[in-house]
Structure 1
């Protein structure tokens, strides 16, 4: 069985709040998701809140359209990358890939 692929499209995201909203939507996180770095880290590592079938199959999160956000908010983007990296390091069933192409539009 292949891992579940989820696209996190950051096209048009200009701040942390927008990033958190996109993460919540893409990953279908519960309403209690705190929309902060710690909550994102916890959610990425907690397979019980992953989309259906991802816990069994594994999860590949493909981040698209991230370059404008990274340029506009470099410190926030560094923090996001640290959160992604830590989650991957602690969760063998999780992979995060930064797409080099454009957004889905």
Structure 2
């Protein structure tokens, strides 16, 4: 997909949600997010193998406020607030998720559920909230491709 194609897609709140990170599209995706003035945050999960590390890594990558409680409810609260980086849309890339998915499949599924719920909440306000999951494994075969 090209940057103009991503630009069109990223602006559509009804299409936003949880998706597989498109292969070899980093630059085009970054260009599209930048052209829309959407913050794009990369969350490197390469060293994450448990819930605590996931919550800490996400909190740091997204610059969560001091009141962030490092639990699923606090993650949901922060993802549906984002007042410290107000924008017309958001793109979050969960990079290198395979180790977390393999080591803690239930927590990985819960984490993705929280991100999908956040996208659903933002969609009600017409704001696109994209979470792209970077994986090379079979733990996320069920994820949709961006289209």
TM-score (norm 2): 0.62
Q: Which one of 45, 48, 55 corresponds to residue 80 of structure 2?
A: 45
Matched residue, 2:91 = 60
CA shift, 1:33, in A, is 0.3
Provide runs of 4+ in structure 1 moved above 2 Å. Answer: none
- Structure number with greater Rg is 2
Q: For 1:61, what is the secondary structure of its paired residue?
A: strand
CA shift, 1:16, in A, is 0.8
Q: For 1:68, what is the secondary structure of its paired residue?
A: helix
CA shift, 1:48, in A, is 0.8
State how far apart, in whole Å, the 2-side matches of 1:61 and 1:28 are.
Answer: 13
CA shift, 1:88, in A, is 0.6
Q: For 2:87, what is the secondary structure of its paired residue?
A: helix
Matched residue, 2:63 = 28
* Structure 2 unaligned spans of 5+: 1-34, 137-147
CA shift, 1:56, in A, is 2.4
Q: For 2:132, what is the secondary structure of its paired residue?
A: strand
* Structure 1 unaligned spans of 5+: none
Indicate the RMSD between aligned Cα atoms, in angstroms: 1.4
The question of whether the paired residues in 2 share the 8 Å contact of 1:45 and 1:91 is answered with yes
CA shift, 1:57, in A, is 3.6
State how far apart, in whole Å, the 2-side matches of 1:7 and 1:57 are.
Answer: 18
